[in-house]
Structure 1
């Protein structure tokens, strides 16, 4: 009995140490880069990059127990590295649920990896069993980081705030605008009124689905992969009424079709690939590229292998070139999926390498400026609520 008690005294604290250390280990292992910084680009690319307003449509940094204001030697981004990469606007997404056995083909929605992650990262008790609470908690993390940043990280909720930020950025680009998005609308927990809760917390972009079908509609990775539900149709109407942008990343093909059939405002795809360079369950067909562009929307090209079929700058640029040739430069943007458990060619300090790749692909300087951030800026200025 004494030996058993002694073993328990050793094993229980050891288990706790491992449990609470696991999120950091996962972060380091799953948010990786192909090569260590510094990331070099040509002199002409570096010079052009220093003139650009760079915007990225998708970053999952809020999921992890990292201080956004401190520089880290792992993961893909934080405020110091965003500033070094010349990022002027970053969309931060909130991840609230992912199924066990996560894959690109087919996932049920009856399991969840984020519960244990929330516990291990010591999130508030209410986040353990409420997806809405998880989204609101991550929104609060971003708000607190912005408040402590001495004006270097600015949370933007409306057109007026974005215009004020852009004026300040022109005088001093050592600042980043932050916009909140949700990765899937499972946080509304089947209740239309929770759209208002998300809006009041600062969310302005709404991804409809993530890796499983939910009450709003089908995922490209779900079991049924269906279109909009009856609730989903109400949700689209409410999002448009509140001038929240609809994000079709991870959406099933029928869901994309249903949304485009009823949308009266531009829609976006925050992080994706294109089937023309990389076939895959969630990569956009030519038809969907054309219809999304026809809505006035933009398509954020991702950096990871399943999006572009290779972990390289060349593969990213090939997807950008394909989309631009198909629907026009004005509808193409960056959608890194940084910190979304992906392996990328670089972290956010390496974005000048994309600028160089676009130069080599024959894009003019004005076209590069549009792709790297100008198109997102235009879309947000036209689409966000006025106040």
Structure 2
């Protein structure tokens, strides 16, 4: 991988004399976060992420402080709210991101290729990439898919939490989906083929197990699972089981660890419920864990979320199952309410490097997890 080696050289991490100071190690890394929802959570709400915010997990000052070199900005919509107009909504989000980039052009630039990433990094700027979270936004149209790719989208998460006419979601694996909608339809297969031709990565976070295996059968390129964890440790439908992990390894794909406490620890939601009842009172059944968490004080939130060690446990498990070349990070910042302690926002990412060093990972291994594995799969999709 010539380009990957050039990045190693650029950031000084092919030498044997690495300093053990975690902040210095972190500065030398190419840090790629494969999934962040700040467009929908802040930008579309009129918050200026060019300035440090007192809300949310992400803004440009904190990205710089956290040493984030490449940030994938998720373009997302709730399928139920956007049953019509989802394609326009996707374009509106990209428009909004482009305005942020134009207003902060000395600090951030949009990349559409690995060559762009290298160029922008040499200029000392944050690299912005675009990912589409939810195939509903192409409205079943391959021309719409092509249009979003042309605008810079370099992966598409096939589903969010609802079934589409051509693909089924993990969240609706209850046997109620019609048989002809299980997994990937014939039109869905055409969409995957076109994504392969374009060089657009297929993201199977949120996808059903049937969809997962259907895509593996047809895709000619490695798959991406941007923000999911190990089901063996936390048996949530958004996490991958061992069989899926072995299939991902065989395919050459990459899984990005999700920072959400609920995907890291099975007991998280029960702790939120208990804290809410203790400090606030009985909750309406329709109140989500997110809403309950937000009503707790900072100190109470700290108590119910998970230690950083839980995230490292998932990384350890994934590395054991799929190997060091197939694990990345996909924080899901601003799409979650409860990241681990010491990873409260993007500025705290050096703490992840510190924790990996303390767990015994060497700097070459950390470089792969923190960015090079994501870059590798991006480069593979650029090759025809």
Q: Same fold judged by TM-score > 0.5? A: yes
Give 1:361's aligned residue: 359
Q: Deviations over 1:165-214 (max 9, x none)?
A: 2433xxx3xx2111111111101112222111211222111110001111
**After the TM superposition, which of the residue ranges 63-72 and 245-254 deviates more from structure 2?**
63-72
Preserved contact between residue 256 and residue 329 of structure 2 (Cα < 8 Å): yes
Give 1:316's aligned residue: 311
Q: Does 1:60 align with 2:37?
A: yes
Give 1:164's aligned residue: 119
Preserved contact between residue 38 and residue 73 of structure 2 (Cα < 8 Å): yes
Preserved contact between residue 186 and residue 215 of structure 1 (Cα < 8 Å): no
Preserved contact between residue 267 and residue 292 of structure 1 (Cα < 8 Å): yes
Give the Cα separation in 1 of the matches to 2:373 and 2:307: 23
Q: Give the alignment partner of residue 81 of structure 1, picking from 59, 62, 73.
A: 62
Q: Does 1:242 align with 2:198?
A: yes
> Structure 1 residue 129: deviation in Å?
4.3
> Structure 1 residue 378: deviation in Å?
2.3
Give the Cα separation in 2 of the matches to 1:285 and 1:375: 21
Give 2:183's aligned residue: 227
> Structure 1 residue 44: deviation in Å?
2.6
Give 1:188's aligned residue: 138
Q: Deviations over 1:117-158 (max 9, x none)?
A: xxxxxxxxxxx9400011001011111211221231111112
> Structure 1 residue 377: deviation in Å?
2.1
> Structure 1 residue 232: deviation in Å?
0.7
**After the TM superposition, which of the residue ranges 327-336 and 191-200 deviates more from structure 2?**
191-200
Q: Find the residue that maps to 2:33 and give its secondary structure.
A: strand
Matches within 5 A, 1:1-387: 44-64=21-41, 65=45, 66-98=47-79, 111-112=80-81, 129-168=84-123, 172=124, 175-222=125-172, 223-224=176-177, 226-309=182-265, 311-345=306-340, 346-384=344-382
Q: Find the residue that maps to 1:91 and give its secondary structure.
A: strand
**After the TM superposition, which of the residue ranges 210-219 and 148-157 deviates more from structure 2?**
148-157
> Structure 1 residue 343: deviation in Å?
1.3
Q: Find the residue that maps to 2:50 and give its secondary structure.
A: coil
Give the Cα separation in 2 of the matches to 1:384 and 1:62: 26
Preserved contact between residue 59 and residue 337 of structure 1 (Cα < 8 Å): yes
Give the Cα separation in 2 of the matches to 1:370 and 1:136: 32
Runs (4+) off by over 3 Å: none
Preserved contact between residue 159 and residue 385 of structure 1 (Cα < 8 Å): no
Give the Cα separation in 1 of the matches to 2:145 and 2:103: 27
Q: Which runs of 5+ in 1 are unaligned?
A: 1-42, 99-110, 116-127
Q: Find the residue that maps to 1:221 and give its secondary structure.
A: helix
Distance 1:97 1:338, change over 3 A: same
Q: Deviations over 1:11-38 (max 9, x none)?
A: xxxxxxxxxxxxxxxxxxxxxxxxxxxx
Q: Which runs of 5+ in 2 are unaligned?
A: 1-19, 269-305
TM-score relative to the length of structure 1:
0.77
Q: Find the residue that maps to 1:143 and give its secondary structure.
A: helix
Give the Cα separation in 2 of the matches to 1:141 and 1:53: 26
Q: Find the residue that maps to 2:238 and give its secondary structure.
A: coil
Q: How many residues align?
A: 313
Give 2:295's aligned residue: none
> Structure 1 residue 267: deviation in Å?
0.8
TM-score relative to the length of structure 2:
0.78
Q: Find the residue that maps to 1:299 and give its secondary structure.
A: strand
Give the Cα separation in 2 of the matches to 1:81 and 1:323: 28
Preserved contact between residue 196 and residue 381 of structure 2 (Cα < 8 Å): no
Root-mean-square deviation (Å):
1.8
Give the Cα separation in 2 of the matches to 1:292 and 1:178: 26
> Structure 1 residue 354: deviation in Å?
1.1
> Structure 1 residue 63: deviation in Å?
0.5
Q: Find the residue that maps to 1:271 and give its secondary structure.
A: coil
> Structure 1 residue 385: deviation in Å?
6.9
